[in-house]
Amino acid sequence: MTGTILGCIADDFTGATDIAGLLARSGVRVSLRIGVPDHPPTSTSPFEVIALKSRTAPVADAIAETREALAWLKAAGATRFFWKYCSTFDSTPEGNIGPVAEALMRDLNTDQAIYCPAFPENGRFVFMGNLFVGQQPLAESPMKDHPLTPMRDSNLMRLLAPQVTKPVGLTDRLVVAQGVDALRASLARHRSDGTAHVVVDAVANADLEVIAAACRDIPLITGGSAVAMPLPALYLADGLLAADAPKQVAHVIDPATIILSGSCSSMTNAQVAAYTETGAPSYQLDPLSLAQAGTPAVLEWLAKQDLTKAPLISATADPASVKAAQAELGVIEVGALIERTLAACAVAARDAGARRIIVAGGETSGAVTKALKVSQLDIATEIAPGVPWTYCISGGEQIALALKSGNFGSKTFFSEAQAKLDAK
């Protein structure tokens, strides 16, 4: 029987389901832990993912929590590790990606790590060290207006350099296109030059396959989820993953559904608009009203809904509305207010019989899973690239939970998610 091979640590909850979903394409069981477990590892899966809520946490806190996650994964038997952050590299110059990576490198006694946030299936490309969202450089994409991590530079080396203490370099697409041996040789040259942090270009899935093959034996890979996708097949070929490794298990889940949207990304705005146009029941949250009157109004509305019609409760808004609320209440308070409200709605919906819960937004997903007291998720069928359904126990009930990163999925994601689970 295969033990735990790969241990992944994600800096937010949707990022964790993202990488777990791509690993689960292999058909092998993937287990996702919400926060660092408070018990020693038992009955672990071949691929273990720990979801943290550390993306915008103080650097010292993010490092401490990530190191705890690493220690747990080591105890589970993992020998290879993946530090997963957003495919749009969400991190200010004072952010956590670099400091956490260096802490992991020290604990793993390795002198080099790669950085590859590319996710071609979702329109994330790295070319000559610059990150693109579709055809737009990162700094010209909607990410430039992100309320917590506004991305004002597209060059990953410039973004990473202020965060780390050792040199940053690049292995570009011209090298990656030459194959595995060329990439390994480039990394070796960087190592001999003392370059500890290497950004690696990727613009297509074929590039990810080269990168994964070249790096499958190194202790630490960092990046978006897509570069982890080829690893299960490589581990199987190497004999690390047994042919009889535990497989995914499907469940039949009652159709009562609630949809909770806290993301204000451009894609989530489009998804909320498209779902509202279907005629489904919907309720729009207003931070200013919530600050004055609290949650009774939305909870009263929710209590009257037919959950088989999958009602939507949304705080999703355009950038101007978000900035206006932040100016009135403060950036942190607006975010915390929305998270508390949607978390309360999740618990109320579960208690009213909802067994399918769809959540949009990384911070919202973290708040919801904590409120539902979910500690472990089993990864199920994929709804869209990087967004799987998951199964968990909450309040003694079997729940299907979908945690969507703000920018992921098509405009009809909320409807697609329901149809995907019905098809299983």
400 and 272 housed in the same domain? yes
Residue 422, judged by CB atoms within 10 A of its CB (0-12, 13-18, 19+), counts as exposed
Answer whether 258's CB lies under 8 Å from 417's CB.
Answer: no
Instruction: Please report the pLDDT score of residue 150 as a whole number.
Output: 84
Final residue before a domain boundary, out of 206, 238, 270:
238
Final residue before a domain boundary, out of 186, 210, 238:
238
Instruction: Give the model's confidence band at 1: pLDDT under 50 very low, under 70 low, under 90 confident, else very high.
Output: very low
Percent of the chain surpassing pLDDT 70: 99
Q: Does residue 246 sit within a domain?
A: no
CATH number of the structural domain spanning residue 189: 3.40.50.10840
Statement: residue 65 has pLDDT above 80: yes
19 and 114 housed in the same domain? yes
CATH number of the structural domain spanning residue 327: 3.40.980.20
176 and 80 housed in the same domain? yes
Full residue range of the structural domain in which residue 408 is found: 257-422
Statement: residue 46 has pLDDT above 70: yes
| pLDDT tens, residue by residue, 173-231 | 999 999 999 999 999 999 999 999 999 999 999 999 999 999 999 999 999 999 999 99
Statement: residue 93 has pLDDT above 90: no
322 and 377 housed in the same domain? yes
**Beta carbons within 8 Å of 113's beta carbon, 6+ residues apart:** 83, 101, 104, 105, 196, 197, 198, 218, 220, 221, 222
Instruction: Please report the pLDDT score of residue 2 as a whole number.
Output: 56
Angle between helices 362-371 and 13-24 (to 10 degrees): 90
- Return the closest-CA partner of residue 137 out of 127, 149, 147, 148: 127
Amino acid at 29: R
Statement: residue 255 has pLDDT above 50: yes
308 and 162 housed in the same domain? no
Q: Does residue 249 sit within a domain?
A: no
179 and 90 housed in the same domain? yes
276 and 336 housed in the same domain? yes
Report the distance separating Cα 60 and Cα 122, nearest Å.
31
Report the distance separating Cα 349 and Cα 274, nearest Å.
22
Taking residues 313-318, report their average pLDDT.
Answer: 94
* Pairing assessment for the beta strands 356-360 and 376-384 based on DSSP bridges: unpaired
84 and 222 housed in the same domain? yes
55 and 175 housed in the same domain? yes
Instruction: Please report the pLDDT score of residue 268 as a whole number.
Output: 95
* Pairing assessment for the beta strands 376-384 and 30-34 based on DSSP bridges: antiparallel
Q: Does residue 358 sit within a domain?
A: yes
Q: Does residue 198 sit within a domain?
A: yes
Report the distance separating Cα 96 and Cα 115, nearest Å.
14
Statement: residue 71 has pLDDT above 90: yes
Q: Does residue 1 sit within a domain?
A: no
* Tally of domains within the chain: 2
125 and 27 housed in the same domain? yes
Answer whether 21's CB lies under 8 Å from 386's CB.
Answer: yes
Report the distance separating Cα 290 and Cα 288, nearest Å.
5
> What is the pLDDT of the chain when averaged over all its residues?
93
412 and 265 housed in the same domain? yes
29 and 159 housed in the same domain? yes
Q: Does residue 73 sit within a domain?
A: yes
